[in-house]
Amino acid sequence: MSKKEEKAFTFEEVYEQNKRRIYYHIHRMNIRDPHQDFFQEGLFALWNAYEQYESHKGPMSTYFNYIIEKRLIDKIRKDTRIMHNDQAIVAENKMQWDTGNRVRRTDLSYPLLEREEPAITDVNFWKSIKDQLTDKQWKWVYYFIILDMPVKEIAKRENTSEEAVKSWGKQARKKLRIQLPYK
């Protein structure tokens, strides 16, 4: 159809007759569309199809169905690609920032230095630590550091107060700082 030729229907008439067609394709593809994004995409496809339709190539309804369906599939693909890219970025940032190896004293967090070998597997290291500490201080090291138990649980297990367990830890850290300075 050339620009000089008049179209048989205005777009408003075509829209009123074919808006259910957009909903049909959304429903048939099981698309949840609470914000009407897919309907808007279908409406845009309908408008493009109306503008580009050539009557000698076939029925208008078949052309509308084809264009609307393909445009909705393209939107699904685009949204899926964006979602996967966002998830990859989130996973990368989480890996970079949330290794769990941080000290938080205020709103700022500082990364701790990575060790080549975890000290938990070195039996001789822990034996030398145990020889330098009292029984209560060793209990704090064993439960809090090695077994990663919270202070509350240690206090309950040892039938003492949380403050006492914190005191054991404070004394153990103080003693270990003197005995084992950083290299």
Domain residue extents for the chain: 11-97, 119-179
Give dist(CA 59, CA 56) in Å, integer.
8
pLDDT of residue 55: 82
For residue 104, what is the enclosing H or E element?
A: strand 102-104
CB 23, CB 39: distance < 8 Å: yes
To the question of domain 119-179 being in CATH 3.40.50.880, the answer is no
Give dist(CA 61, CA 72) in Å, integer.
16
Residue 47 CB partners (closer than 8 Å, separation 6+): 11
pLDDT of residue 96: 64
CB 131, CB 180: distance < 8 Å: no
pTM value surpassing 0.75: no
Output the six-digit token pair for 52.
């580009």
CA distance between the termini of the chain: 83
pLDDT, tens digit only, all 183 positions of the chain: 444 445 677 888 888 888 899 999 999 999 998 898 999 999 999 999 988 888 888 888 888 999 999 999 999 999 999 999 888 888 777 666 655 555 555 555 555 555 444 456 677 878 888 888 899 988 888 888 888 888 888 999 889 999 999 999 999 888 888 766 554
